[in-house]
Structure 1
């Protein structure tokens, strides 16, 4: 049995407005295919709220009317209620969006359907390492819910990439690694020990950069670009914050996943597929995990135990041939 912490769905209304992968609309098909693979529960959400990850001219995902976001989240809640035990959800919010959108997200967390928050690792090229994100982190810590730090539609620096394939498969994981590092260096995890951050795609390569982060932390702080808001600074070394960072298994690379397990520990790894919209069979994620030579106890923790504890949800009933 398994809990998939990384899935996405999109409402029919948004399909009428934006180009999107068809798999995002086939919720029953997703649930059925995952059950056949032994994946019993999926935590779903949208990293763009009522927007789209596909580049659309003149579309700003961070300028969404509150009523539009509310309608989207109500639709998500309906999907969860219609599939008890199979789906739970993340509430989307914009950490820089102000009191209105943060208050709306906080109210969603009072509903049983929503068990975490999903936000972007950077917002219009800006990471979450300044006071602008302070109210968001205070809210997340108060509610003690995990925060999925998902890459945005347009990662920092991606405007210089001409090939959209590089944006999706290189820039977005890189944005996750940089975004987590920025949060650690800003001291948000130090200030709020209740915070738990989920870094998808096996942390975006962060496992290979921990020693570099330690070196960077020991260096004298330097000024950033002229006119930029000065970054906040953590007192403790980055390694002291890693226990509050979880990574998921949504990577096609056994090497990357193996490094993540070694660095973060099996207790901080969550099973995730990024399906939908990724079109690889769900069984592939299980096969990659099986290549790591994990003990039965660690494998079970990654498949379901860690997520059940982190999200405070009951481990799913065993179903499907792949359980």
Structure 2
């Protein structure tokens, strides 16, 4: 069995619908046959194809890839975190309802995660609960809201709410840090995106936030945890030798790896081996980042054909961990 826990969708949002959020900055979908363009206001943002919005094509794609289930979540440009909650909440509700409509085409194969207006914690908690009650498996959030990382008090409150209600969370990097130096070659996606994920994880560990969040929280970070697995030894070394690193973190940083999961989207045998060695085979789930070009092109092959992973770890990563995490 194969369950892909990290893939994206974008419904056919019209420019008029997007204008209700923000005429200049909200995303909408301009389509032509099987191709299309995500637009932001009047500007092209990203070329896309109909796998992103057509459920029939998506199910055919699952068949081609040998996937039993694929979990879809918003393309992060849809988050709307920079908008007033009076507009952002109806926007999130609309996107979440459209997601359920897409999944209804094949409810046993297509599953969805909701988005929430994370700039307003009360509204985010209400929408997370509403969406899960309506059929979403959980919620996807960005790794920060403007300058607020995951250790900010309000965001910790949201994580506590999800723990209390048993709502699984996928954290996806977005709005990548850059001072303008990363101009070409998709460097924000190749450099800043993994750094954003590592920043999200370490903000929870080093701030002591995990001490205030119930261990029942089901929390997963996309893209194999970004730079975290490779650089964890550096963090442990800093914790041992610098009191400023220890001041809010009572335990060795590596001891917190059992508080969260990661997906398997690392695209390299050695990287996946390291990821499983750091996290454990019970904390990694198959994730493709489909249907984008930076995603896994043969979904699950990196896990299933890995030369050194055990059969038990492959089985857990391909489906077993996801079934437990999301209750599938």
The superposition leaves residues 174-231 of structure 1 with CA deviations (integer Å, 9 ceiling, x where unpaired) of 2111211111222233322112321211111211122222233342227xxxxxxxx9
Q: How does 1:255-270 map to 2 (within 5 A)?
A: 255-270=270-285
Aligned residues: CA RMSD: 2.4
Equivalent residue, structure 2, for 1:276: 291
CA 300–273 in structure 1, closer or farther in 2 if over 3 Å, else same: same
Q: Report 1 or 2 for greater relative contact order, CA contacts < 8 Å, sequence distance ≥ 6.
A: 1
Please report how far the alpha carbon of residue 164 of structure 1 lies from its aligned counterpart in structure 2 after TM superposition.
6.0
Structure 1 position 289, deviation (Å): 4.4
Q: Secondary structure at the match of 2:68?
A: strand
Residue 158 of structure 2 corresponds to residue 130 of structure 1: no
User: CA–CA distance in 1 between the matches of 2:152 and 2:238?
Assistant: 18
Q: CA deviation at 1:258?
A: 1.4
Choose the corresponding residue for 1:24, options 14, 32, 52.
52
Cα distance in 2 for residues equivalent to 1:301 and 1:288: 10
Secondary structure of 1:233's aligned partner: coil
Taking the aligned partners of 2:295 and 2:103, their CA distance within structure 1 comes to: 23
User: Which of 155, 167, 171 is the equivalent residue of 2:192?
Assistant: 171
What is the CA distance between 1:104 and its match in structure 2?
1.4
- Distance across 2 between alignment mates of 1:280 and 1:310: 22
Judged with a 3 Å threshold, the aligned counterparts in structure 2 of structure 1 residues 252 and 182 are, in CA distance, closer, same or farther, namely same
Q: Deviation string for 1:217-259 (max 9, x for gaps)?
A: 342227xxxxxxxx99232222221112211111222222111
SS at the partner of 2:78?
A: coil
Report the Cα distance in structure 1 between the residues aligned to 2:247 and 2:11, rounded to whole angstroms.
38
How many Å separate the matches in 1 of 2:318 and 2:76? 26
Shift of 1:103: 1.3
Which aligned pairs between 1:163-312 and structure 2 lie closer than 5 A? 163=184, 165-191=186-212, 192-218=214-240, 219-221=242-244, 233-278=248-293, 282-283=297-298, 285-287=300-302, 289-312=304-327
Contact 2:283 2:321 in 1 (8 A): yes
1:102 aligned to 2:118?
A: no
Which residue of structure 1 aligns with residue 82 of structure 2?
A: 62
Deviates most, 302-311 or 23-32: 23-32
Equivalent residues of 1:30, 1:276 under 8 A apart: no
Shift of 1:126: 3.4
Is the CA contact (8 Å cut-off) linking 1:266 and 1:298 kept in structure 2?
yes
TM-score, structure 1 as length reference: 0.83
Structure 1 residue aligned with 2:172: 150
Structure 2 residue 99 is matched with structure 1 residue 76: yes
Aligned twin of 1:54:
none
Per the alignment, in what secondary structure is the counterpart of residue 244 of structure 2? coil
Q: Following superposition of structure 1 onto structure 2, how do residues 43-62 of structure 1 map, counting pairs within 5 Å?
A: 43-48=71-76, 50-51=78-79, 61-62=81-82
Distance 1:159 1:138, change over 3 A: farther
| 3-state SS of paired residue (2:139) | strand
Consecutive unaligned residues in structure 1, runs of 5 or more: 52-59, 223-230, 314-323
Distance 1:175 1:164 in 2: 18
Whether the 8 Å CA contact 1:47–1:92 is kept in 2: the answer is no
Taking the aligned partners of 1:173 and 1:67, their CA distance within structure 2 comes to 31
